[in-house]
Amino acid sequence: MRSTQLTALSIGLFLVAMSGVALNNRSAVSINGLDTNACTVAAPCRTFTTALSATASGGEVVALDSAGYGPFAIAQDVTVVGAPGAHAAITALSGDAIDVGSGVDATIDNLTIVGGPMSLRGIRDQGAARLHVTRCFITGLSAGTGIQTTETSPGSQPATLIDHTTFDFSFLGVDFADSTGAVTSCSFNYDFNAVNVESVTDVADVSIIDSTVNGSQIGVNATGVNGIVRILRCSLANSTLVVEGSAGHTAFLLLHDNYFESVTGTGQYQLLSYGNNAIRNLTATLTPLPLQ
């Protein structure tokens, strides 16, 4: 009898312990939160780092109100979002603001990312299975990169999707390195290079759609691209489309219904144009394609 009672007691204590470490499907952070809290909406934490550690894979972390929440890393499938009307800021005066781990499926929504002269990256994607960045504002990485993505094994689906996001005053806005992805409805303002696409070991597949570049020295730079870059319905004002093909790698760029201040090309490349692009200064060879 005593053995049975001890066994029941042990099981009960185990269940209590397990319930104490149960993870939230929805966690929350707030300017009034404490990192000793349970990170729920009723008892929010103060930082994303603590809230993420309390969140189950596939869950979400919501910033309830305006505040600075500090740099963080994502190691599980998760959505990190600022509530409507909240100015949820991540400031990193050095290093990276947000680090996204390999193989995860992550969404980053409605955050403001602020860098400084010593910052490296606003968002560093280290090979996520899928990364969706939407409705964000990334600024101040004058010597760094707004979003840098590297995919180890590109698939048929775009791995990095960036939409309705603004990039201001970065050295590089978006850097696709050996990766696939899409930039849609984004604004780049006074970045040195708005979008950079470079591939060496993998095949690149990048689409840039319905986006604007203002005051950047280089609007789109395609360097040694082994693959294709599609640019559709974009405006590169006071910026240059630069194509730099390299030996053994033909850079294929498909251009449709764009405005380019300047287009230059060197090395091995093909600029495939449907004939409906407005180009002010052209020092590259275009290959015409018929509209179907």
Q: Is the distance from CB of 197 to CB of 173 less than 8 angstroms? A: no
Query: Can you say whether the dihedral through the CA atoms of 31, 32, 37, 40 is positive or negative?
Result: negative
Span 77-91, pLDDT tens digits: 999 999 999 999 999
- The angle subtended at Cα 188 by Cα 183 and Cα 193, nearest 5°, is 90
pLDDT in tens, 235-282: 999 899 998 876 667 788 999 999 999 999 988 888 999 999 999 999
- What is the tens place of the pLDDT at every residue in 131-154? 999 999 999 999 999 999 976 555
Spelled out in words, what is the top-level CATH class assigned to the domain 34-288? Answer: mainly beta
Whole-number pLDDT of residue 252: 85
Q: What is the pLDDT of residue 9?
A: 46
pLDDT value at 1 more than 60: no
Of 136, 36, 147, 39, nearest to 81 (Cα)? Answer: 136
pLDDT digits (tens, 9 = 90+) for 20-73: 569 999 999 999 999 999 999 999 999 999 999 999 999 999 999 999 999 999
Q: 162 pLDDT band (50/70/90 cuts)?
A: very high
Write the CB contacts of 16 (distance below 8 Å, at least 6 apart in sequence): none
How far is it, in rounded angstroms, from Cα 90 to Cα 97? 6
* DSSP 3-state of 23: coil
User: Is residue 156 scored above 60 in pLDDT?
Assistant: no
